Structure 1
Amino acid sequence: MTRPDSRQAGTESFDYIIVGGGSAGCLLANRLSRDPSMRVLLLEAGGKDNYPWIHIPVGYLYCIGNPRTDWLFHTEPEAGLNGRSLRYPRGKTLGGCSSINGMIYMRGQARDYDGWAALTGDDAWEWQNCLPDFKAHEDHYRLDDGNDPETGGNGRFSDMHGHGGEWRVEKQRLRWDILQAFADAAVEAGIPRSDDFNSGDNEGVGYFEVNQRSGWRWNTSKAFLRPALSRPNLSVWTHAQVERLTFETDGSGRKRCVGAVLRRQGQAVQVRSNREVILSAGAIGSPHILQLSGVGPGSLLKSHGVEVVHDLPGVGENLQDHLQIRAVFRISHARTLNMLANSLSGKIGIALEYALRRSGPMSMSPSQLGAFSRSDETQSHANLEFHVQPLSLDAFGEPLHRIPAITASVCNLNPTSVGTVRMRSARAQDAPAIAPNYLSTDEDRRIAAESLRQVRKIASQPALAKYQPVEWKPGPEFQSDEELARLAGDIASTIFHPVGTTKMGRDDDPMAVVDSRLRVRGIAGLRIVDAGIMPRITSGNTNAPTLMIAEKAAGWILRERNGFQPGT
């Protein structure tokens, strides 16, 4: 039986080396190691996912900003945020971001994937061809009894969702009157109700479904990696940070990735791949590793004294993220987490409810109620996402406010602002410079202003009147587009969805890093499988799409292996 850290690296060779034990990496390790003839190595720079707060849903509060589970990145000062720098959490543990994220299961919109297919010229990315990859690992609670909840047999829901896979999807185990009132107010403001955000059109208001099992966080390490650990052909090394990839040149001058140099428990180790190296270190980690290895914009690499292996200008470009604007309303006559968690009796009650029932605030994802709407009547689709919470704080990881309040965070689902991830030095230990370039376009600033107006419209509806909501942040005195865009810069924060920094694209796209099958352009034996390959960000939370990408890539890799010839 192979367990994490059970083998020493030495100079071992493997068929597949997966760099990054996060969401994509854990799924890939499971799928690729199914063939006992293939030796698979999974490398994770962080540790095992044995920290208790990883598994208690509210534990994200103790994992974000914790060096045990978070890379502790920060953005560069952002002009669109009025010079502020944001904390930029990324998971540093087995399970990666699925061990510290908001647990929301959200695929996005069908149009996202149809757009990827058009950009890449590959219909494998169309929604209808991605749906089987979503369903392949899904285990949806509504199908637990074997029947479609809509028809009692086979029907629309079972056409859209899977059951029996590794990735558990459940409803949340809590109820807040103030959230139900907000949902009713959203309907009064013209947003329809939705009982399924994952059918290809997520417009509407309803409760998020979450990746939990019986009140515990369900991360990708538990779902995909642990069932595979008994396979003798799978090795998992934690505390193994890749410093650079290694390459060889064949007789025709073609470069091939043949392994990696890493630091493990203070020792330099080199490993070799007989088939492929797969980067799954995420939209921040993967471009950084490529740049450290000499693959990226030539001028950037030379400026840091890195030998250029392959000049690939798109590496680290095209960073896209969802910026959430956190509107806070002080309320009356309703229970909120602020008041419960700031009293001793409230804390005891919260702990007892979770201990006895696995429910209540300790089972909460960061956001419970969701809504997808259009910022104005000219939009052909929902372009705003609301995350509504019965609490308020300045940012996740900060203390709850000591006033009764709720937060209605709203983000532009399709931002036009793009940024960069660039190495600061040739040292792997030095964090890259992350510059999302938020609110840098007129369109993004306009939609930011409109989104705040929509929050105010919902808050003014009769369904919320008895709770007497009063806008606390940003403040009702700000009304013009210019004022609201500036205030958005003061109060907005990342919603932790970085994508796009190693995007896929057509052969004639000079900024495409990978082809439509996720193979790095110009280098054999190297593939990228993580959120970085998205050419455009999805219209929703990004963890479920990342797993779909990994599922699809695993299928391609397994089908290609029979025709593999070293050096081709």
Structure 2
Amino acid sequence: MDKLAQLQDVDGQTFDYVIIGDVFPVPKSFVYPNIYYPSGGGTAGCVLANRLSEDPNVTVLVLEAGKAHFDDPIITSPLWFPKQFANPDYDWTFPVIPQDNAPEIHKIPWNRGLGLGGSSAMNVLTYTKPAREEMDALEALGNPGWNWETYQTYAKKAEGFQAPLPREIDDGFRDLYHPDSVGHDGPLTLSFVPTGCGADAAFQQSLAKNGLNVLTNALGGEIIGTFKGLSTFDQFAGKRVDAATAYILPVLHRSNLKVLTEAYVRRIITEGDEDGGVIARGVDFEHGGKLVTAVAGREVILSAGSIKSPQILELSGIGDRKILEPLGIQTVVELPTVGCNSQEHHFVRAPFLRLKEGKGLVSGGMLTDAQVAADLKKLHKLDIDYTVVTNAIAFASLQTVSERASEIIARKKAQLSADWEKYLPGLRRQYTQMLQLLESGHGADIEYMVAAPIFEGLPEPHKPHIAVSPNLTHPWSRGTVHIASADPKAHPRIDPRYFEDETDRAIMAEGLKHILKVVRTPPLSDLVEVELAPGPNFDLSTDEKVQEFVSRNTSTTWHLCGTCSMMPRELGGVVDAKLKVYGTKNLRVMDLSVLPLQVAVHTQAVVYGMAEQAADIIKASVQSA
């Protein structure tokens, strides 16, 4: 393997593009006359580094705060990824402030990947593409060229799909797809994991009895229904594939690409020009306990994620004057919407089920027993270890899950009408799109997923367990991520404002009631030994009791978006459709923070497609300059 860069490999050298991923400080400056700074060796940053360095006539430097973690079994194994959580070598572990409407959730930190590959190295490997209407909504929000057709083109450019292999044991959980809806030649390896918990087919059959049928192609813009999802998994190697192993490791041999790890961004250096604009001249960062300034001759590109990107902008004087100046930070660009419009998926930690033994059912806790794992590998005649991942997915409209849908929608419309003048123009535009989807009955308002990984603290970990959780996909509540200190090492103040909008809690409660019907319907119910949560005697008789349970048993899904939203400035946008930060000449953002309106699906597929499109936007801007 070609080696990662050392400081001496980059100190004093000139690079056309510098991709920064939360770097570690050096007491002298080194200058890169023609530079981009996509801040982040995470998912988007890795894509940009690969694509920009395809041109042998440019040089690219990647700076990343964490370590490389190449060939680390805690990352590569689909079984052991929970060991990353709260481990400072792998996880930022961002705290969340207490929430008035969700009294327990602030105890659950927002885990984010620290290292090359970012959160793509610690997620649950789920690769689900958004609905056509969701990506078309980006264009409707004032972003020309950002729509489903363009997204699908770029997503397929990223994807390297492995066709399913024959399986020794057919459990009825089908690998369904259409070849034209997925890419086959891209760097990101995707596959249907050939083994599972054994309850997935029963989950689909019980869903069908409760209004949700199996989709034959969930990759082509239609997601309502249930399906087996793709995973970022190499079925021949039996390992996770993340953005670093897909986009960085294969091209480390390029002489025009240098990757420096263990770095931490402090701020972007800017200065004004004669036209009254702001130019990004470089980045202050740390490496080995020393301060370093990297000077940019072309552009700075920030790809630090939905938490760190707004933090770095604010530390650099770009944001709301009322937040910056009390902290002693001079306002360079007055852009009050930096860190606003945050939207986060969250799910109910129930139903949680202990399954019956002796029926071939498997969960992650069981696989920690070496003998059990070996027996399963032999039984299925596998060349790789037996694996369970979260790939039994379903998306449903509110109309499908609830008899009270019309009542909930009518109440929401009345509330929007009453409060319409209070909303900023961008939020009005977003809510218009959301209401259209909600009323149509074609929106994916709730997700269900079967999770069978390692659960900490199980009283009987040797028995099979699954969680079948409803997930709120299109939250109406809006939160914020802002700095609370001028210290770059201090965590930002994260306030997701869970359930500030009552519609969110109402939809989640209806989703919980519906999925409880599903798990109590054969054939899934035939596999259940005991319903551990909320329990067979849980009182479903009143909305108040169900919503109280939802409030106290909600957890993040780690899909935050919107904190540097891509929208016209007059609508409250932070970046334009070319990803340029308003008020600046040469500063871009590219990560999930630019997504202005949350999609229903797990978000990594969205980031890969958007980052591929961003790379072409950047290349085109150089050619036209």
Amino acid at match of 1:556: I
Query: How far off its partner does 1:559 sit?
Result: 0.9
Question: Which whole-Å CA distance do the structure 2 matches of 1:521 and 1:495 have between them?
Answer: 30
Instruction: Answer yes or no: is 1:275 the counterpart of 2:298.
Output: yes
Instruction: Answer yes or no: is 1:82 the counterpart of 2:124.
Output: no
> Which segment drifts farther, 340-349 or 379-388?
340-349
Instruction: Answer yes or no: is 1:381 the counterpart of 2:443.
Output: yes
The answer to whether the 8 A contact 2:126-2:232 is kept is: yes
Instruction: Answer yes or no: is 1:495 the counterpart of 2:557.
Output: yes
Aligned match of 1:504: 566
Query: How far off its partner does 1:82 sit?
Result: 1.7
Measured against aligned partners, the alpha-carbon deviations of 1:31-66 in whole angstroms (never above 9, x if no partner) come to 111122222221111111233311111221111221
Aligned match of 1:91: 113
Query: How far off its partner does 1:273 sit?
Result: 1.3
1:485 to 547, 551, 555: 547
Instruction: Answer yes or no: is 1:428 the counterpart of 2:497.
Output: no
2:250 to 194, 206, 227: 227
Write the mapping of 1:550-565 to structure 2, written as runs, cut at 5 A: 550-564=611-625
The answer to whether the 8 A contact 1:2-1:234 is kept is: no
Instruction: Answer yes or no: is 1:410 the counterpart of 2:436.
Output: no
Aligned match of 2:415: none
Aligned match of 2:170: none
Q: Which runs of 5+ in 1 are unaligned?
A: 146-155
Amino acid at match of 2:200: L
Question: Which whole-Å CA distance do the structure 1 matches of 2:370 and 2:575 have between them?
Answer: 53
Query: How far off its partner does 1:83 sit?
Result: 4.6
Measured against aligned partners, the alpha-carbon deviations of 1:266-316 in whole angstroms (never above 9, x if no partner) come to 110000111111100000110011111111111111121111111111111
Query: How far off its partner does 1:106 sit?
Result: 1.0
Q: Sort the Cα spacing of 1:422 and 1:338 in 2 relative to 1 into closer, same or farther, 3 A.
A: same
Question: Which whole-Å CA distance do the structure 1 matches of 2:346 and 2:458 have between them?
Answer: 21
Aligned match of 2:185: 164
Aligned match of 1:150: none
The answer to whether the 8 A contact 1:54-1:60 is kept is: yes
Q: Sort the Cα spacing of 1:523 and 1:338 in 2 relative to 1 into closer, same or farther, 3 A.
A: closer
Local SS of the residue matching 1:562: helix
Query: How far off its partner does 1:80 sit?
Result: 2.3
Instruction: Answer yes or no: is 1:5 the counterpart of 2:66.
Output: no
The answer to whether the 8 A contact 1:174-1:359 is kept is: no
Aligned match of 2:224: 203
Instruction: Answer yes or no: is 1:533 the counterpart of 2:594.
Output: yes
1:115 to 117, 123, 137: 137
Local SS of the residue matching 1:445: helix
Write the mapping of 1:252-263 to structure 2, written as runs, cut at 5 A: 252-263=275-286
Instruction: Answer yes or no: is 1:523 the counterpart of 2:584.
Output: yes
The answer to whether the 8 A contact 1:376-1:450 is kept is: no
Question: Which whole-Å CA distance do the structure 1 matches of 2:146 and 2:164 have between them?
Answer: 26
Question: Which whole-Å CA distance do the structure 1 matches of 2:308 and 2:114 have between them?
Answer: 11
Which of structure 1's runs of 4+ aligned residues deviate more than 4 A? 341-345, 347-356
Local SS of the residue matching 2:349: strand
Aligned match of 1:20: 40
Query: How far off its partner does 1:356 sit?
Result: 6.6
Measured against aligned partners, the alpha-carbon deviations of 1:133-174 in whole angstroms (never above 9, x if no partner) come to 1111211123999xxxxxxxxxx9343221111011101121
Measured against aligned partners, the alpha-carbon deviations of 1:208-230 in whole angstroms (never above 9, x if no partner) come to 21011121111111111122212
Query: How far off its partner does 1:232 sit?
Result: 2.0
Aligned match of 1:237: 260
Amino acid at match of 2:5: P
Question: Which whole-Å CA distance do the structure 2 matches of 1:358 and 1:25 have between them?
Answer: 30
The answer to whether the 8 A contact 1:2-1:235 is kept is: no
Instruction: Answer yes or no: is 1:303 the counterpart of 2:333.
Output: no
Normalising by structure 2, we get a TM-score of 0.83
Question: Which whole-Å CA distance do the structure 1 matches of 2:507 and 2:92 have between them?
Answer: 31
Q: Which runs of 5+ in 2 are unaligned?
A: 12-28, 167-176, 406-440
The answer to whether the 8 A contact 2:105-2:554 is kept is: no
Amino acid at match of 1:3: L
Question: Which whole-Å CA distance do the structure 2 matches of 1:110 and 1:28 have between them?
Answer: 24
Amino acid at match of 2:137: G
Q: Sort the Cα spacing of 1:410 and 1:503 in 2 relative to 1 into closer, same or farther, 3 A.
A: same
The answer to whether the 8 A contact 1:353-1:359 is kept is: no
Q: Sort the Cα spacing of 1:223 and 1:353 in 2 relative to 1 into closer, same or farther, 3 A.
A: farther
Local SS of the residue matching 1:260: strand
Local SS of the residue matching 1:120: coil
Normalising by structure 1, we get a TM-score of 0.91
Question: Which whole-Å CA distance do the structure 1 matches of 2:198 and 2:345 have between them?
Answer: 28
The answer to whether the 8 A contact 1:390-1:406 is kept is: yes
Query: How far off its partner does 1:317 sit?
Result: 0.6
Amino acid at match of 2:505: R
Local SS of the residue matching 1:132: helix
Q: Sort the Cα spacing of 1:241 and 1:422 in 2 relative to 1 into closer, same or farther, 3 A.
A: same
2:511 to 448, 451, 455: 451
Amino acid at match of 1:492: T
> Which segment drifts farther, 457-466 or 537-546?
457-466
Q: Sort the Cα spacing of 1:52 and 1:380 in 2 relative to 1 into closer, same or farther, 3 A.
A: closer
Question: Which whole-Å CA distance do the structure 2 matches of 1:492 and 1:223 have between them?
Answer: 33
Measured against aligned partners, the alpha-carbon deviations of 1:379-433 in whole angstroms (never above 9, x if no partner) come to 332211111124674xxxx334526532101111111111111112111111111
Q: What RMSD, in angstroms, separates the aligned Cα atoms of the two structures?
A: 2.4
